[in-house]
Structure 1
Amino acid sequence: MKPLPVIEKSNLHPRNLHRFGYDFKQLIENLPELKKFVFTNEYGTETIDFSIPDAVKALNKALLISNYEIQNWDIPKNYLCPPIPGRADYIHYLADLLASKNNTVIPEGENVVGLDIGIGSNCIYPILGNSIYNWSFVGTDIDENAIQNCKKIIEKNSKLIDVISLQLQVESRFIFKNIILPEDKFAFTICNPPFHNSAAEATKPSIRKVNNLQETRTKTPILNFGGHNAELWCDGGEIGFITQMIYESAKYPMQVLWFTTLVSKKENLAAIYKTLNKVSAVEIKTIDMSQGQKTSRIVAWTFLSESQQKNWNF
């Protein structure tokens, strides 16, 4: 039998484990329930249907077992099921950012502490950051159910217990208030902000996609990766959330080396840069990322001088 072709996903970060696709044989060995979702497409490549949330969740479970030594990972119904390769890319680009101020050496170990804003129910950034670079994390969210699910994941994986702590944000209109305490120091913050202004706006792309594929018109959304309200939309959408984050970040200039966030919509960049200049950010970086058809970017900023950055104690 001729082996299936292996296609390098060159748009992923060079250190990303998933650049050469998925070893479905190994993944199915580790998680037999994945098998029912796997098929060979018209190009002769094994894959799953990424429009089926249960298929994406099964793939994630298998990847976390196989590549990151995480057992019993699960999320409640209707919560965001993130694509792991893209989330791993964010972690790798963060590592490069930290290395750029550390004599090109990626700082590793539990003393490197990150703050995950909007950890969701999946706990994915802390899991990946700890598994790849042994970093520690504080994860925060406004959704108590999401925090409780992260707690379950951590409790089922003993290696995470001492390196990931969780905090409920009790005032939903704030991002860093109540979370960054006077004694805290974070090497970075990480965030995948809500994209949309409202629930109606969040469902439009999925409805349009379904209607393009079938003759009947539907008003019922299908969200490929699930998604709870707080994960998908907020008043002001992505730009409103990030603007709030920037203004709040200026209140903690010496406590965080790099503030970072994903920015999905390129048209929001000009307003983001303008706000960062208003709060006198010392350095601003934009890191382009792409996964498949989707292009995104990380915007990072710091209030520390070059010498303060280089003297940061990991």
Structure 2
Amino acid sequence: MSTTSQSAAGTHPGASSWSVGDHTVLRVDEIALPAETSPWLLPGATTDLVAEAPWLRPDFADDQGFLHLASHSFALEADGMRVLIDTGIGNGKQRANPAWHDMNTDYETRLREAGFAPESVDLVVLTHLHTDHVGWNTRAEGGDWVPTFPNARYLTARTEWDYWSGAEMDDARKQMFRDSVHPVRDAGLFDLVDVEDGGTPIAPGIRLLPTPGHTPGQVAVELSSGGERALITGDSIHHPVQMSHPGLCSCVDIDPDLAVRTRSRLLDALAGTSTLLLGTHFPPPTAGHVRREGEGYRLAPAAPGRG
């Protein structure tokens, strides 16, 4: 497994890629999330708690204890199928979170520069149906929201869809479904998959693994090729501080106790292995290997040119 930078990931400065056997996984950046995100999202990640894990600095936390978080997608080609995993916050969306409201990023340009023009994408995998994972499902066209990836199938777990279909949603979440989920479904591009306990293949070398807790139907995405393996976290792990303290929950976990069990099980299975962990909200260096440290774990970043 290896990491490369701009040359392999397209022309956009800062783009990164990782090889997993014959797969090349690209990180397509949307935006670095503001510093205020960490005390809201992970209120238990106090300055003292962050200081207990000095390995978090400087990449994953600053000297004041604020955590660094990011919004990005992962893109790869598997056996000729072009796949995008999660679609970020999106542009021009009306959002309750001021940091996400009416954004105007060059995400689509970055996709094109990375070689993944929206019209070329075959499959969009949504790890779960939260606002910061579905936003670029659609783009504005005239007064309507239309699928950004018109030739793709959009895939999520049936458990996830069934939960939200029956949930009592506030106005902000209803708006998100109206502008970023329902237009895809109305276009006939939305597919549901039954994810088995042991995982469900969706494409050559790509498997969905159930990681419930943050949401009932959240999935992680396992990549495998040539005896190598990687795992894209979704929000089962928001930030590497949760590796040091697996019991640390986010404020938006629907079932915090289950989220802790899921995270602990995942980290225990990965610890000491060669599997590359790719964090859906991890800032650069974004990827690494899970190692045991004390009563918890740490991320050993994958150095450039190595897995």
Please give the TM-score of this superposition, normalised by the length of structure 2.
0.31
Larger RCO, structure (CA 8 Å, separation 6 or more): 2
Please give the TM-score of this superposition, normalised by the length of structure 1.
0.30
Larger Rg: 1
Q: Higher strand fraction: Structure 1 or Structure 2?
A: 2
